[in-house]
Structure 1
């Protein structure tokens, strides 16, 4: 009798093709319900395969070499792409939006990843790609979603509540006082997905990182510990990212004379 402790399943290209064929179910539902998502679904499916296959080859090469400058280059590219993705998700743009989203994403992600690598995991050397690349990628992915939600709501609020903000300024309110409610609501909106996932993790859902480790044969208790650490890292980075983004947008909409700049 074989023991499940030693069981490890290796996926083949045939397994990938079989999983990919399940998209047909989604395509049928899209067609029957007239969701007009066929093109988007096909594009997303193809990009998923191509992008993940490409990054798999790149990571395998980097893991084998373990050169700090190559790891740093990958981390930089990941951060730039995350900043651009966060910017592209904002419906109402303004001059300097990319710089603001990039700063919010990079500052929060780099700070939290550094704490994880140097303080919590104490990785030696710090540029060990097995640790630093997945951790930064996980944090970036969640942070850019939170930042884009915060940016969207705050910019929208500045457009829609311009009259209210100007009225409060005319009543001697300081700039931050005039927009505090909008900033607070925007940050809460950005943090909602992260908080919701923390409330149900382990009860309703098993996160991807933990599931992947268990499927790969890792000790479930260790997988849980890693997941707890990453959940807290994501929470902190998302909060920092949302706050930085909100403050940068706030500064864009007020001049040196503390006057509100009409959107």
Structure 2
């Protein structure tokens, strides 16, 4: 009976799929695949976490789980920005650096102990959000540079560096990518109840402890996402520009 309710709850997805079908959005298959994968993956990961949590020497398992999440996140973000050359590599490095810096700071400041029960969920939240932000940043940056190609090439011809020539496009892409997270932080607790805080209170933790954990989670997600997003713009330059500071025709051609 345990899995019947989750299966029944997928019925609401049918409504969403039917709606996208009637609107001819063409994303029905992707939605169904995502729901099916989520069902299988979440069912499996529960047993994997139970195994990791029971290990006495969990450090290798923490690192393995972290690298696995970053690899999947980099691949997914690269797929979303599929028109960016070496997009999967750029996304992987951006997510790895952004989340690793944040994790090291959390450990150094003794905010979280280096145990699976803390580090794996924290890493999952950071990688998941950094993945979304990085994919949007890369995709939007390429699209904006392509739209403003003439302006960018004029700035380059006048001696501007790639960063200077595309500063406005970088601002837009990073701003758009980070805006949902910023809005979510602004309205946290006013609209949607934060999951970590609510879950801890339901599990019997004190409200003060739950609030502290949720604030830490919001801060680490914001930090990791920002670093990953900005880094991805820098890593895009070799993919977008030649060594002579010219836009690559194979990336921004007709």
TM-score (norm 2): 0.88
Q: Is the 8 A contact 2:77 2:131 kept in 1?
A: yes
Is 1:44–2:34 an aligned residue pair? yes
1:259 aligns with 2:239: no
Partner of 2:132: 145
| 3-state secondary structure, aligned to 1:203 | coil
Q: How does 1:205-224 map to 2 (within 5 A)?
A: 205-224=192-211
Task: Measure, in 2, the Cα distance between the counterparts of 1:122 and 1:41.
Answer: 35
RMSD after superposition? 2.1
Verify: 1:107 aligned to 2:97, yes or no: yes
Match of 2:182 among 173, 176, 195: 195
**In the alignment, is the contact (CA less than 8 A) between 1:27 and 1:38 conserved in 2?**
no
Bigger mean CA offset, 129-138 vs 24-33: 24-33
CA distance in 2, matches of 1:99, 1:41: 25
Q: Distance in 1 between matches of 2:74 and 2:46?
A: 22
Q: CA deviation at 1:122?
A: 4.9
Where does residue 184 of structure 1 map in the other structure?
Answer: 171
Residue 17 (structure 1) aligned with residue 4 (structure 2): yes
- Number of residue-to-residue matches in the alignment: 246
Change in Cα spacing, 1:170 to 1:149, as seen in structure 2 (3 Å) is same
Counterpart of 2:108 in structure 1 is 118
Correspondence 1:65 to 2:52? no
Once residues 177 and 81 of structure 1 are traced to their aligned partners in structure 2, the CA distance between those partners, rounded to angstroms, is 32
TM-score by length of 1: 0.85
CA drift at 1:40: 4.7
The answer to whether the 8 Å contact 1:79/1:140 transfers is yes
What are structure 1's unaligned runs of at least 5 residues? 1-12
Shift of 1:75: 1.4
Q: Which has the larger radius of gyration?
A: 1
8 Å Cα contact 2:112/2:118 also seen in 1? no
Q: Is the 8 A contact 1:105 1:144 kept in 2?
A: yes
The answer on whether the counterparts of 2:94 and 2:229 sit within 8 Å (CA) in structure 1 is yes
In structure 2, the CA distance between the partners of 1:187 and 1:66, relative to structure 1 (3 Å rule), is farther
Task: Please give the alpha-carbon distance, in whole angstroms, between the structure 2 residues aligned to 1:43 and 1:175.
Answer: 39
| Contact 1:210–1:223, Cα closer than 8 Å, also in 2 | yes
Q: Which runs of 4+ in 1 moved over 4 A?
A: 35-42
Between the aligned partners of 2:16 and 2:103, the Cα distance in structure 1 is 40
1:18-45 alpha-carbon deviations (Å, 9 max, x no partner) = 2431322341464377357665554433
Gapped regions of structure 2 (runs ≥ 5): none
**Correspondence for 2:235:** 248
